[in-house]
């Protein structure tokens, strides 16, 4: 990154792309996507997921990067500037606030799951996976999640690394790490997917992932798919807005966003192809929940001749992918605090990271001491949910769609067509009217109708 006329920009378009792909590709693709697809009937979920990425999450990703580039500051400050520049109501500042607070909450549980990934590197390295069957892999995961001290230890390490990178300034280190490590992760995942095609459950997995029956599509499936689209593309919590603030005026936001979406979606699908054949080969339950990835892949590493090396490499790269995502969850709050307080970036990163770390304890205990505790038991939708389930569900299925909805309406209805076209550098682009139609009508109405459907037809 370099300072140009007082405002920092990425050193190249490639650098921005790498940081944005680093943010998008993470636990969302390899941990969250497979377990949600598994729990929501497979094919129906995956089809709806891809459709809503194209119609909702991608148009909003373009919008979010654009709002960041127009505001050139933290999400909260960018929104404040856009509001005053365009004479909009102060209420729109909820986009900045909602996103920033949401990112802080996601960071709190993301760090705990990231800790699992790092811990699994040590399992892989000590040969724990060798010859494991499904029950043993399940027991290994259950033992880890039953042990709060170990979870806290790895959560602490994960958060410390995140804080360390953010304190030093996101752009410096990240460019180089992402350029090499993301393609490596992709190749390794491709290798795992190819291996999975040779297992007995491959055919069943393909049917599970790609056959869909309309009767499997419930309002809750669609809401989960929309939420996962936002989560996976890092949309609607200000992360992409923060990164967008450093994008050079001359660069095409739309083509970058399309590249980010394609990279992100391919990693998720590839993760599914690597995981589901093993699920069926070893008689596991696709709907078993957040442990799915951590229970299935070790079985594969345990059967491979070079399983120790592949296992170490895989979980190391997964940890790196998670870190390049978590820094984008911490960055919006730190960017805001830097504008607001006189403390140094280092101190602010530590303070905010500490807060998210503390909040993470509720996620840690959701898997053991508080596993049976349902804090919002009186509230229909939330009745069987632990703290972790509530954070995960509320951020992805309520906060992200709501903030995304507001971003779309703000850029589609509050800002004029001329202003937006000029800011995008798309006055003559053929796709511009199409994108505008998506953010004016399709994305907002899609989100609203799925909210309404979930309230009217829960379950």
Using an 8 Å Cβ cutoff, are 72 and 361 in contact?
no
Per-residue mark of binding to ligand TRP, 352-371 (x: CB under 6 A): --------------------
Nearer to ligand TRP, 27 or 128 (CB): 27
The one segment of 26-34, 138-146, 206-214, 298-306 that binds ligand TRP by CB under 6 A:
26-34
> Taking CB under 6 A as the rule, does residue 329 contact ligand TRP?
yes
Task: For helices 417-424 and 58-71, give the axis angle rounded to 10 degrees.
Answer: 90
- Residue 454 as a binder of ligand TRP (CB under 6 A): the answer is no
Nearest-10 crossing angle of helices 345-366, 307-340: 130
Q: Which residue minimizes CB distance to ligand TRP?
A: 28
Residue closest to 322 by CA, chosen among 150, 169, 110? 110
Q: Does 328 bind ligand TRP (CB under 6 A)?
A: yes
Query: Which residue from 239, 220, 235, 233 is spatially nearest to 268, judged by alpha carbons?
Result: 233
When asked if residue 98 is in the footprint of ligand TRP (CB under 6 A), the reply is: no
In angstroms, the first-to-last Cα distance of the chain is 48
231 in contact with ligand TRP (CB under 6 A): yes
The residue count of the chain comes to 459
The β-bridge relationship of strands 2-4 and 7-9 is: antiparallel
Binding span for ligand TRP by CB under 6 A among 25-33, 79-87, 207-215, 269-277: 25-33
| Pattern 104-133, ligand TRP, x by CB under 6 A | --x---------------------------
Q: Does 234 bind ligand TRP (CB under 6 A)?
A: yes
CA 173 to CA 192: how far, in whole Å? 28
What are the angstrom distances between the C-alpha of 276 and each of 40, 222, 265? 13, 21, 16
Residues 65 and 74: their CA atoms lie apart, in Å, by: 12
Among positions 18, 21, 23, 222, the unique one binding ligand TRP when judged by CB under 6 A: 23
Cβ-contact 182, 260 below 8 angstroms: no
Give yes or no for residue 29 binding ligand TRP (CB under 6 A): yes
- Minimum Å gap between C-beta 228 and ligand TRP is 9
Options 20-28, 120-128, 194-202, 434-442: segment touching ligand TRP (CB under 6 A): 20-28
Q: Does residue 239 interact with ligand TRP by CB under 6 A?
A: yes
Contact between 36 and ligand TRP by CB under 6 A: the answer reads: no
Helix count and strand count (H, E) for the chain: 22, 2
Selected binder of ligand TRP within 21, 53, 65, 103 (CB under 6 A): 103
Q: State the number of binding residues for ligand TRP (CB under 6 A).
A: 16
- Closer to ligand TRP by CB, 61 or 370: give it: 61
**Which of residues 15 and 299 has its CB atom nearest to ligand TRP in the complex?**
15
Q: Which stretch binds ligand TRP (CB under 6 A): 58-66, 76-84, 125-133, 231-239?
A: 231-239
Closest CA relative to residue 419, chosen from 115, 59, 69, 22: 69
Nearer to ligand TRP, 34 or 307 (CB): 34
Rounded distance, CA 263 to CA 259, Å? 6
Interaction of residue 24 with ligand TRP, rule CB under 6 A? yes
Q: What is the DSSP string of 94-108?
A: HHHHHHHHHHHHHHH
CB 29 within 8 A of CB 53: no
Taking residues 287 to 316 in sequence order and writing x for each that binds ligand TRP by CB under 6 A, - otherwise, the string is: ------------------------------
Can residue 325 be called a binding residue for ligand TRP (CB under 6 A)? yes
Q: How far is CA 204 from CA 31, 41, 58, 269, in A?
A: 21, 13, 31, 16
Which positions touch ligand TRP (CB under 6 A)?
23-24, 26-29, 103, 106, 231-232, 234, 237, 239, 325, 328-329
């Amino acid at each position: 990154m370099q300072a140009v006329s007082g405002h920092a920009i990425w050193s190249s378009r490639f650098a921005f792309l790498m940081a944005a792909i680093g943010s998008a590709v993470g636990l969302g693709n390899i941990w969250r996507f497979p377990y949600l697809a598994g729990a929501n009937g497979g094919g129906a979920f995956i089809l709806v997921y891809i459709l809503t990425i194209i119609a909702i999450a991608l148009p909003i990703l373009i919008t979010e990067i654009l709002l960041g580039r127009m505001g050139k500051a933290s999400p909260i400050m960018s929104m404040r500037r856009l509001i005053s520049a365009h004479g909009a109501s102060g209420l729109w500042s909820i986009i900045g606030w909602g996103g920033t607070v949401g990112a802080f909450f996601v960071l709190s549980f993301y760090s705990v799951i990231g800790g699992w990934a790092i811990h699994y590197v040590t399992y892989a390295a000590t040969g724990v996976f060798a010859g494991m069957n499904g029950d043993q892999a399940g027991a290994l995961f259950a033992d880890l999640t039953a042990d709060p001290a170990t979870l806290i230890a790895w959560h602490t390490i994960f958060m410390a690394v995140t804080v360390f990178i953010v304190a030093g300034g996101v752009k410096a280190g990240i460019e180089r790490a992402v350029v090499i490590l993301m393609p490596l992760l992709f190749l390794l995942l491709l290798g795992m997917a190819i291996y999975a095609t040779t297992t007995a459950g491959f055919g069943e997995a393909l049917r599970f992932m790609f056959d869909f029956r309309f009767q499997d599509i419930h309002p809750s499936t669609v809401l989960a798919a929309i939420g996962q689209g936002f989560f996976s593309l890092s949309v609607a919590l200000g992360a992409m807005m923060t990164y967008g603030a450093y994008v050079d005026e001359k660069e095409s936001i739309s083509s970058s966003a399309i590249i980010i979406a394609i990279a992100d979606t391919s990693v998720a699908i590839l993760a599914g192809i690597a995981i589901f054949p093993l699920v069926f080969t070893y008689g596991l339950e696709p709907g078993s929940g957040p442990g799915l990835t951590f229970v299935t892949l070790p079985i594969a590493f345990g059967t491979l001749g070079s399983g120790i090396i592949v296992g170490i490499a895989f979980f190391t790269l997964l940890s790196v992918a998670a870190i390049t995502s978590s820094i984008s969850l911490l960055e919006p709050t730190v960017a805001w605090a830097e504008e607001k307080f006189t403390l140094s970036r280092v101190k602010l990163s530590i303070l905010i990271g500490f807060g998210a770390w503390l909040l993470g304890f509720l996620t840690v205990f959701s898997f053991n001491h508080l596993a049976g505790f349902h804090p919002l038991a009186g509230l229909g939708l939330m009745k069987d949910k632990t703290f972790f389930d509530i954070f995960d569900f509320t951020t992805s299925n309520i906060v992200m769609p709501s903030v995304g909805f507001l971003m779309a309406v703000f850029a589609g209805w509050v800002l004029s067509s001329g202003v937006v076209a000029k800011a995008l550098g798309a006055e003559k682009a053929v796709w511009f009217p199409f994108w505008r139609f998506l953010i004016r009508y399709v994305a907002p109405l899609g989100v609203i109708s799925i909210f309404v459907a979930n309230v009217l037809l829960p379950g």
